[in-house]
Amino acid sequence: MISRKRLPSLSIFFPAYKDEQSIRPLTLACIQIAKELTDDYEIIIVEDCSPDKTGEVADELAKEFKEVRVIHHEKNRGVGQTMIDGFTQAKKEYVFYTDGDAQYDVRELALLAEQTPQYEVIVGYRLHRAEGFKRVFTSRCFHLLSFMLFGIHFKDIDCSFKLLHRRFLEKIKFRTKSALVDPEILINAKRLNVPIKEIGVHHYLRKYGQSQCLRVKLIVSMILDMIRLRFIYWF
């Protein structure tokens, strides 16, 4: 086995919505990499009232593995609130999150863990985005707007592959419940003058389901939240 940087403890969580086919292999992969990085870990599945069998599969995994626990939403709260619940419910010293659609290789968490002695905020960036032109174009517009409003400039502000120390999480309060949580993490790191390390990770096409990211309602809510946050986080 390859020698890994060991962590004192680790929470891994991911939002799950219409992910009934991906969350079992994803959970097994999370358990494997967690075992390589620490002796004290938990896997949290935040199930956002999915209309398919995502919740049932998650509960089966929790019964099978004592390290797995599930947070169920009684009604759909959206990706932002789902992420916030994962961050706030995590109990370990380091908290890692990714998407439930398994578009990342969670084994690359080891690359982020190598940076923990020097950094409390370690974020992935996609070496090559696997989606089509619409997603790439939308993301670039989002990056430009984030720079104009908040002055943050990173390679991939909405990459769902982040490792955060609890010290940092305890200093911040999320002000949005939309999909703006990812850049809000970086906005807070800038406000608090917390150094950020960016690490390139691989990105893959979805094997199952369909992305929810290009829904007009979601995009509008993110833009409105960005404007509101500009007045809250007035640099």
Model confidence pLDDT, tens digit, residues 118-159: 999 999 999 987 666 666 667 677 777 776 777 778 888 889
Which residues of the chain fall below pLDDT 50?
1-2
Model-level pTM?
0.88
Query: Rounded distance, CA 176 to CA 119, Å?
Result: 25
Q: Is 148 helix (H, G, I), strand (E, B) or coil?
A: helix
Query: Rounded distance, CA 12 to CA 14, Å?
Result: 7
Res 213: pLDDT = 56
Res 79: pLDDT = 87
Which CATH number describes the domain made up of 10-232?
A: 3.90.550.10
Res 1: pLDDT = 41
Are the CB atoms for 230 and 148 separated by under 8 Å? Answer: no
Res 229: pLDDT = 77
Residue 23 CB contacts under 8 Å (≥ 6 apart), including other chains: 14, 16, 45, 54, 57, 58, 61, 100, 102
